[in-house]
A and B are shown apart, each in its own frame.
Chain A
Amino acid sequence: MEKPVIRVENVSKIYDMGKVQVKALDGVSLSVYKGQFLSIMGPSGSGKTTLLDVLSALLRPTKGEVFVNEKPISKMDDNQLAQVRGKTIGFIFQTFNLIPRMSALENVMLPLWFAGKPINERKEIAEKILGEVGLGQRMNHKPNELSGGQRQRVAIARALATNPDVIVADEPTGNLDTASGEQILELISQLNKKQGKTVLMVTHESEIAERAHETIFLRDGKIVKNKKNETRRTKK
């Protein structure tokens, strides 16, 4: 049987707020396989972002274990974890989170710099990917000279720069109008279909979630429902 890219085992995230304890995640177990497209839904405050953070090795759980390529992250220090993230996971945020002082090209080159790639390689890769997401003509623009949709494309290019297996996206269309949101979703779907990227995406809208192979529903930090979207499913 194939090994999961990311596996969480009975993870909980508890925030101790003094008087009360907030259980953002409550005993969640989940395996994510290569090529899978998983969406996460649930009401506000149900723990979607927290689960995504844990799955992407950005947040250590209070209880339970996270495995990235079957390696437990509790055995890694923060720097090793940063490097594992840099190699394995590409992040797309609702608010884009580009560095405002840097051009599109420089933003995309950044994770490659963190990964220790030499300058000419960084530039070559970043230019190629920006071309692929349709921003070949906008590479030297700063984020504030780009539209929301274009910014999110830069962010997607940045997420793809180190050629990670997994793309995580927390409400990637939350700050976009319908048309550009649709284009971004199409782009993300294509990454899954054409490049075989594993995609984990948090969303509020069921129409968006339907693009995924599988949708997880969260409530109060627990998985309450797991719906397979057979029509879209290609394999596994």
Chain B
Amino acid sequence: MSLIDRELFSIAFKNLKGRRLRSFLTIFGIVVGIAAIVALISIGEGLNQSVTDQFDQLGTNTIMILPGGGFVESVFAKLDDDDVDLIENVKGVDFAAALYITGLQVEYKGEMKTVIAIGIDPEKIEQLGFIGIANLEEGRNLTPHDTTAVVIGSKFGDRIIKDDIGLKQSLNVNGNKLRIVGILEEAQNNFAGMFNTAITMNSDTLKDFSDTKITPFRIIVKALPGEDIDELKERISNQLERDHDKKDFQVMDLQQISEMAGSIVGMISLVLIGIAGISLLVGGIGIMNTMLMSVLERTKEVGVMKAIGATTPRIISIFVVEAGMIGLVGGAIGLLLGIGAAGIVSLVAELTGLPLTAVVTPTLIIGALAFSMGVGMIAGVYPAIRAASVEPVEALRYE
């Protein structure tokens, strides 16, 4: 006779259905614990993946210059247009290109939309292909003489305009026609990802369109082959600092960018591990408590089941599986919340330019559900043993 079969689960399910989960508190701990774990693992996995992507795609000879030194100044500090030339003259630099970014009001088929517009020096657009930026899918790329031509990201039509806008169509900005000449292929790495939903154009045109003065959002630098990256960063940093009279910028290589993301994730992880641990403990105790109450309430029932032939392992299995199912319900809710939380973290990361997209794998989903069921089952062991130790005669006399 096998102990685990369909009946066991259907009976456990019936027992659960029959009573309202004593209060949301019973599963609250499990919900929070599993949510924290799912968020943690999916973010960690995402970080891992995006770091690998960055290295694969951007290579190790890429340096990025960001405005701002410390945290506070970063809002006010600005890079200059001239910085690009300055950096290109530093020994060991292959080339440097500035990226500008701003929101633009465009009109398409009579509707106004706010879109993200990226400005780039058309002479350098081809060269940026190596970091996964501005590789062409259809049409042609920007050329140095283009002023009103734009290329659009692969998801621009879908997500932003909500129309299958394509080549030869145009967008209006303050009465100026912007012709779409090319569609970019989908960028895979996180940094280049911002091109997917944006329009990209000549940076001079972009500056003309903007009411306020726009300055480089990032300067991307490619080192000559064989250059020592640390030394090159040092030279660039010194050069810029001399020019700006202060260090109101950051020079980072990809290692540092991913470390930055890593340290933030590390901090989140620590908090989440703490929350998860405590919550699961609380959740386990909650389930144990509910199950103990349930055992008390069902003493007579257990007596009847023993009288009509249920063995001790059978009774234990019934209660353990029931507890496991409570855990599973909590785990399923927690899983959804965790995926949601990870999604929000990814969104925030995307907005702040950190290379991070949470990844929810099937293994994680199954693992989280199995784990929550496991926690429930473990919490159910003691109540189940209590139930199974009921003396049938006494239970039957129990009122």
**Taking CB as reference atom, which chain A residue is nearest B14?**
A101
Chain B residues lying within 8 Å of A159, measured Cβ to Cβ, are 308
Flag A72-103 by CB within 8 Å of B: 1 or 0 each. Answer: 00000011001101110011010001011110
Question: Cα distance A59–B307 when bound, in Å?
Answer: 10
Q: Are A85 and B309 in contact (CB under 8 A)?
A: yes
Judge whether B14 and A102 touch: CB under 8 Å. Answer: yes
Q: Is the CB of A97 within 8 A of B396?
A: yes
A91, B308: Cβ atoms closer than 8 Å: yes
Q: How many angstroms between the C-alpha atoms of A179 and B72 in the bound complex?
A: 89
Whether A14 sits at the interface, judged by CB under 8 Å, is no
Distance (whole angstroms) from the CB of A189 to the closest CB of chain B = 22
Q: Is the interface of B mostly helix, strand, loop or mixed?
A: helix
Report the bound CA distance from A158 to B305 in whole Å: 11
- The listed residue (B18, B310, B313) touching A101 by CB distance below 8 A is B18
Chain B residues with Cβ below 8 Å from A59 are 392-393
Nearest A residue to B312, CB-CB: A79
* Residues of chain B lying within 8 A (CB to CB) of residue A58: 307, 392-393, 396
Q: Quick check: B311 and A119 within 8 Å, CB to CB?
A: no
CB pair B304–A86 under 8 Å, yes or no, is no
User: How far, in Å, is B11 (CB) from chain A's closest CB?
Assistant: 8
The answer on a CB contact under 8 Å between B301 and A99 is yes
- From residue 77 to 128 of chain B, which have CB atoms closer than 8 A to chain A? none
- Once A86-B308, A99-B301, A119-B7 are accepted as A-B contacts, the answer to whether A114 and B314 lie under 8 Å apart by CB is yes
Interface size of A in residues (CB-CB distance below 8 Å): 30
Q: With a CB–CB cut-off of 8 A, which chain B residues contact A115?
A: 1, 309
The A110-151 residues at the B interface (CB cut-off 8 A) are: 110-111, 113-116, 119
Q: How far is the CA of A97 from the CA of B6 in the complex (A)?
A: 24
Is A210 an interface residue when CB atoms closer than 8 A count as contact? no
Q: How far is it, in angstroms, between the C-alpha of A99 and the C-alpha of B11 when the chains are bound?
A: 11
B311 touches A83 (CB 8 A): yes
- Cβ A97 vs Cβ B300 within 8 A: yes
User: Is B306 positioned at the interface, with any CB of A under 8 Å from its CB?
Assistant: yes
Hey, which chain A residues are within 8 Å of B308, CB to CB? Answer: 85-86, 90-91, 110-111, 114, 158-159
Q: Does B210 contact A (CB under 8 A)?
A: no
Residue from the list B301, B307, B313, B392 in contact with A79, Cβ < 8 A: B313
Min CB distance A55 to B, Å, is: 12
Q: Which of A86, A100, A102 contacts B309 (CB 8 A)?
A: A86
Which 9 A-B residue pairings sit nearest by Cβ, starting from the closest?
A: A86-B309, A116-B1, A114-B309, A101-B18, A79-B311, A111-B308, A97-B304, A59-B393, A114-B310
Q: Apart from A58-B307, A91-B308, A114-B314, list 6 A-B contacts with CB within 8 A.
A: A83-B309, A97-B304, A99-B305, A100-B18, A102-B11, A102-B14
A-B contact pairs, 7 of them (CB 8 A): A56-B307, A59-B393, A82-B310, A83-B311, A99-B304, A114-B309, A119-B7
